[in-house]
Chain A
């Protein structure tokens, strides 16, 4: 097992804020919009240096999406920011018609995704956003794994012409990817090569998968771990190459088991090569208040559950 160490922990939303800070200096067409959550989205450095390119929308997410679509007419690159629940479910039709169907170069950037925003509870813990966004034709869906990768992804999506959903979160987690990485949309990232089971993880679950890999290694199981930071378009080639080698799959995501990464991977498996797959995901339920660690444990998303899922998958080979 490749050794992953870290010296610092940070939230992925701060990676987004750092990426926006860089974009503010590098790309004069980037405009930031926010629906009354500037502090939560870590936009202060961008706003301080580019006040004329920040648009405060107030608590009006539907209007923010429409504004963003309109800003692209004239060549702006709008980054519409709020919590994941309000950035997707609340404004699905606005995204569908004014952004996706109209093929507008809007970047929907969503913090506090999944269970790990913690104490705010289920009203804010969206677990359906990946599914909703990936179903929209032409939408790119990205869920990076740590601070550095979120920063790199933020910078990368400004260069890409088309609608993007960028999903990140609130909990403070280890920084284990390179600070100077080049983020390639749609290209899966090999975390650890292995032979016994393929663990495809996204977002915060990548760190859990690495911890699971270490536990499995101690028990003599050699897990291949791949970070699927881009759920759409999915890197089918990397997935197929891995399952060809290992013959069984675990998918791990902070999302409902219905409609997320697991289902996307299952489609690849069904179409190409039948192998056992185990889901580590929320079992079609809403979340609740608690600390991130408590919630990951209770809802079956932590490293321990990935270990168990890996063993089940291997047993089904």
Chain B
């Protein structure tokens, strides 16, 4: 897909995010908006996905395709929107987000058999381990698919992340690309104030990872280039860590750069102000 088309998809996904969170008056718009460009680039351009008659199809085992895991499950709105826009389930279902009897639970789950989702996440720190397991299964199956996993920067405060970080280079899991969404914010405030992670790149390098940075994580061209570079480094005995610099709330001016929009829904007025900044490119759900 051309960059311009990908940007159009991203604009619609951002509209979906804001509308979904407004629709149930809960959820996490900030991180979702910040990671929109990454997820659109992955699903609409970089990932090899299983298709039948030009449509994506889902099965749990995901053999011979690339897999994506969302460890910071609270940014479910962006994932749900991207999955629906990609064709995994009807976009109309986005209207059910966080409502009773919905498959679109507040945090992603396999429990409701939503196509595209292979593990529950929400309790932080677990996704990297799961992704490493899936990547190991691919190796055992002689499956050339790539495993992608996204974590938050606040999430790096969880101890389990560092168990997994130690495991991956030791076992040479080199079919995996992990991302940290470096937006510098978490619920209680800026990450440097709440619990300073310090130099995450240096930490992962010291653990034995190949580390690259995408400085402009909300620039589609930069994201695509970074993903291309990351992919080129696979298969050399080391796991890949991509430090993705994003702006929390990117795309909606009054939500940008503040932890205050981590987990707060816009009111009617704020919704209108947000939508005025985001082009409806694919039709609202």
Asked whether A and B interact, the reply is yes
Interface of A with B (CB < 8 Å)?
31, 52-53, 55, 57-58, 60, 62-76, 78, 93-94, 96-98, 101-104
Are B141 and A74 closer than 8 Å at their CB atoms?
yes
Give 1 or 0 for each of B133-145: 1 = CB within 8 Å of chain A CB: 1111110110100
Are A94 and B62 closer than 8 Å at their CB atoms?
no
Contacts of A72 in B (CB 8 A): 133, 137
User: Can you give 25 contacting A-B residue pairs, CB < 8 Å?
Assistant: A58-B170, A60-B166, A60-B167, A62-B125, A64-B129, A69-B119, A69-B130, A69-B133, A70-B132, A70-B137, A71-B136, A71-B137, A72-B137, A73-B61, A73-B67, A74-B137, A74-B138, A74-B140, A75-B141, A76-B137, A76-B140, A93-B123, A96-B123, A101-B111, A103-B111
Contacts of A73 in B (CB 8 A): 60-62, 67, 118-119, 130, 133-134, 137
Given contacts A53-B140, A60-B167, A74-B62, contact A66 B67 (CB under 8 A): no
A-B contacts counted at CB < 8 A amount to: 117
Contacts of B137 in A (CB 8 A): 70-76
Which candidate, B27-35, B156-164, B260-268, is the interface stretch facing chain A? B156-164
Residues facing A in B212-261 (CB within 8 A) are: none
Interface of B with A (CB < 8 Å)?
60-63, 67, 109-111, 118-123, 125-138, 140-141, 143, 159-160, 163-164, 166-167, 170-171
Cα distance A134–B136 in the bound complex, in angstroms: 29
Question: Which of chain A's residues has its CB closest to B147's CB?
Answer: A70
Name the distance in Å between B218's Cβ and chain A's nearest Cβ: 29
Name the distance in Å between A250's Cβ and chain B's nearest Cβ: 38
Are B160 and A62 closer than 8 Å at their CB atoms?
yes
Contacts of A60 in B (CB 8 A): 163-164, 166-167
Contacts of B63 in A (CB 8 A): 74-75
Partner of B133, one of A67, A75, A96, A101: A67
Given contacts A66-B133, A67-B136, A98-B130, 20 further A-B contacts (CB under 8 A): A55-B136, A58-B166, A58-B170, A62-B126, A66-B128, A66-B132, A67-B132, A68-B133, A69-B129, A71-B133, A71-B137, A73-B133, A74-B137, A74-B141, A74-B143, A76-B140, A94-B129, A102-B109, A102-B120, A104-B119
Are B120 and A97 closer than 8 Å at their CB atoms?
yes
Are B129 and A97 closer than 8 Å at their CB atoms?
no
Contacts of A66 in B (CB 8 A): 126-130, 132-133, 160, 164
The dominant DSSP class at the A interface is: helix
Cα distance A31–B131 in the bound complex, in angstroms: 16
Question: Which of chain A's residues has its CB closest to B161's CB?
Answer: A63
Are A58 and B167 closer than 8 Å at their CB atoms?
yes
Contacts of A64 in B (CB 8 A): 129
Contacts of A102 in B (CB 8 A): 109-111, 119-120
Contacts of A94 in B (CB 8 A): 126, 129, 160
Contacts of B131 in A (CB 8 A): 70
Contacts of A71 in B (CB 8 A): 133-134, 136-137
Cα distance A62–B109 in the bound complex, in angstroms: 19
Are A98 and B136 closer than 8 Å at their CB atoms?
no
Question: Which of chain B's residues has its CB closest to A103's CB?
Answer: B110
Name the distance in Å between A37's Cβ and chain B's nearest Cβ: 16
Given contacts A69-B130, A75-B137, A75-B141, contact A63 B111 (CB under 8 A): no
Are A62 and B129 closer than 8 Å at their CB atoms?
yes
Cα distance A60–B166 in the bound complex, in angstroms: 9
Cα distance A101–B171 in the bound complex, in angstroms: 28
Cα distance A263–B119 in the bound complex, in angstroms: 32
Are B126 and A101 closer than 8 Å at their CB atoms?
no
Question: Which of chain B's residues has its CB closest to A70's CB?
Answer: B133
Question: Which of chain A's residues has its CB closest to B123's CB?
Answer: A97
Partner of B129, one of A52, A65, A75, A96: A65
Cα distance A52–B62 in the bound complex, in angstroms: 21
